[in-house]
Amino acid sequence: MRKELLVFLMVGLMALSLAASGCISGGGTSSTSGTGTTTPAKPQGEVAIVYDVGGRGDLSFNDMAYLGASKAAKDFNLKLVELQSNTEDDYVKNLETLASQKKYKVIIAVGFMMTDAVKKVAAEYPKQNFAIVDGFDKDMPKNVRMILFKENEGSALAGALAALIAANSGKDTVGIVLGMEIPVLYKFEAGYRFGVKWAEDYYKQKTGKTVNINILYQYTGTFGDPGKGYAAAKAQLDQGAWVIYQVAGGTGTGVFKAVGEYLQAHNQKMGPPFAIGVDSAQDWIKPGAIIASMMKRVDVGVYNAIKDAVQGKFTGGVVELGLKEHGVGLSTVDDVMAMFDSLPADTQKQKLKELGFNSKDELKQYLENTRKQVPDWIWQAVSELQKKIVSGEIKVPAPMDKPGIEAVRNAKTWQDMEKLAK
């Protein structure tokens, strides 16, 4: 036993010395190979970003936040520190660790779920600037900027698009697959319902025919489980849903898969049926199956927060971005290509190969053709609705609690819903 122990220790020591010598030679590279963070020569300061449990790689919410933060870090020559959260228990700990270092121009918390944690830590460190995406609390300390979006406005466009595509194909059902049941998602759902009802009215005026579009909705309870998104979308397709709007972060990639499989099974290259993406311009993920995406420009909100902090113009309180501020909106093909360009070069190459395209132009062409599956008058109708919302002529409800969303669900017409918005 004693001999064994000795051998063990010696092996250990040897390995340790090996490790030590390794880090002397390898130490130089380790700082740059970090979390994909680019470290400029002489950073003029540091900013930090904390992701929620959904984390990077969701191709939507968290990745958009990274996009904004990394762009700001580049433009203002800052070092970007990224923190992932393993579980909900880590939010306070992560924020506290960063705040106690007292060196960040601003600490950005990505996601509604961190609201309580930000409120607590910000009160403990009143001199540290914080920004939280999607989080709102009426008693939030003054050093916190709450970046909110009018998802209801963008989702209304998605709803109108979905309903008109369905009506145009002689169908009467559309779907929406959502993530966790949180107030932010009520805004998406309400906007979508509003858009569908508005489109019913528009269709009647245009064609003289009455349509009654049925809306299937499901909260999957997660933002990180594509399997659940797939199951929910498949069930909705089986019930005749002709367009499905995904509002579920990483879960939503399963929605794209389900729609893609439906097309394949029916020997179609392009829809309808279609899926509608969310947060980022997701159309490139499954070209042909995704007609557009409701972009929520988390990147813009995050970028501005960092910019303001660097330029000494940081303010706390609510900053709300809607259609008018280009904070939300339906993606154009150019938006999609810009999103695609922001991916790492080898990811782009791999994705193109996987999709069977030889160049980015082919992808672009394909996306444009996909959009041509939907007649022009529908696109015009959607932009008409957009103009009316921007001008303030039409108001979209934004319920923040259960009774609020129930009222929207029970409303019969878009005019009834509009009353709820006031």
Partner 1 sequence: MKKSGSDILKSINLKALIESLIAIFVGFLIGAIVLLAFGYDPVTTYSALFQGALGSTTGIASTLAYSTPIMLTALTFAISARTGIFNIGAEGSFYFGAIAAVIFTNIWGNMWFGLFMGMVLGALWGLPAAFLKVYRGVHEVISTIMLNWIAWFFVLWLVVGPYANPNDPNKTLRIPPSARLPLIGNTNLSIAFIIAVFAAVLSYYILWHTILGYGMRASGLNPRAAEYGGIKPKQAIIWSFIIGGIMSGLGGAMKIMGEPPTYAISQGMANVYGYGFDGIGVALVGRNHPLGIIFAAIFFGMLRAGTPLMQIEAQVPLEIIKVIQGIIVITVAIPGLYDLIKNAITRREV
From the list 323, 307, 325, the residue with the least C-alpha distance to 315 is 307
Is 29 a binder of partner 1 (CB under 8 A)?
A: yes
* 38 scored as a contact of partner 1 (CB under 8 A): no
Binder of partner 1 out of 7, 10, 12, 361 (CB under 8 A): 12
Give the total residue count for the chain: 422
By the rule CB under 8 A, 5 interacts with partner 1: yes
What is the footprint of partner 1 within residues 49-88 (CB under 8 A)? 53, 55, 81-84, 86-88
| Near partner 1 in 300-319, by CB under 8 A | none
Which one of 43, 136, 172, 182 is in contact with partner 1 (CB under 8 A)? Answer: 182
> Could you tell me which stretch among 13-21, 190-198, 331-339, 367-375 binds partner 1 (CB under 8 A)?
13-21
Binding mask 94-113 for partner 1 (x = CB under 8 A): x-xxx-xx-----------x
- Asked if 158 contacts 191 with a C-beta cutoff of 8 angstroms, the reply is yes
Partners of residue 215 on adjacent β-strands: 174
Binding status of residue 16 toward partner 1 by CB under 8 A: yes
Q: Is 183 in the site for partner 1 (CB under 8 A)?
A: yes
Q: How far apart are CA 4 and CA 184, in angstroms?
A: 60
Q: Is 324 exposed, middle or buried (0-12, 13-18, 19+ CB in 10 A)?
A: middle
Q: Does 30 interact with partner 1 (rule: CB under 8 A)?
A: yes
Q: How many residues bind partner 1 (CB under 8 A)?
A: 52
Which helix (H) or strand (E) element contains residue 294? strand 290-296
Q: Which string of DSSP letters, residue by residue, matches 74-102? A: HHTT-EEEEE--SSTTHHHHHHHHHHHH-
> Could you count the other beta carbons within 10 Å of the beta carbon of residue 40?
13
Q: Which of residues 112-151 bind partner 1 (CB under 8 A)?
A: 113, 116-117, 119-120
- Residue 193 or 364: the one with the smaller Cβ distance to partner 1 is 193
Residue 393: CB partners within 8 Å, gap ≥ 6? none
In this structure, which amino acid lies at residue 190? A
- The residues pairing with 49 across neighbouring beta strands, listed in sequence order, are 82, 108
Q: How far is the CB of 84 from partner 1 (least distance, A)?
A: 4
- Count other Cβ atoms within 10 Å, centred on residue 285: 24
Minimum distance from residue 67 beta carbon to partner 1 (Å): 17
**Residue of 31, 212, 267, 358 interacting with partner 1 (CB under 8 A):** 31
Q: How far is CA 18 from the centre of its chain?
A: 44
User: What DSSP designation does 181 have?
Assistant: -
**Among residues 6, 7, 17, 26, the one that binds partner 1 under rule CB under 8 A:** 26
Q: In what order do the strands lie in the sheet with 274-279?
A: 214-219, 173-178, 243-247, 274-279, 290-296, 328-330
Nearer to partner 1, 55 or 159 (CB): 55
Q: Which of 34, 40, 227, 375 binds partner 1 (CB under 8 A)?
A: 34
- State yes or no: residue 407 binds partner 1 (CB under 8 A): no
Name the residue with tokens 């947060």. Answer: 279
Residue 90 phi, psi dihedral angles, 5° rounding = -85, -10
Fill in the per-residue mask, 377 to 396: x = in contact with partner 1 (CB under 8 A), - = not in contact.
--------------------
| Cβ nearer to partner 1, comparing 5 with 265 | 5
**Residue 221 binds to partner 1 (criterion: CB under 8 A):** yes
Q: Which of 38, 75, 89, 238 binds partner 1 (CB under 8 A)?
A: 89
Q: Which of 116, 75, 101, 93 has its CA nearest to residue 309?
A: 75
Which value, to the nearest 10 degrees, does the dihedral of the CA atoms of residues 223, 237, 194, 323 take?
A: 50
Using CB under 8 A as the criterion, which residues of the chain lie in contact with partner 1 when the complex forms? 5, 8, 12, 15-16, 19-20, 22-23, 26-27, 29-31, 33-35, 37, 48, 53, 55, 81-84, 86-90, 92-94, 96-98, 100-101, 113, 116-117, 119-120, 180-183, 221-222, 401-403
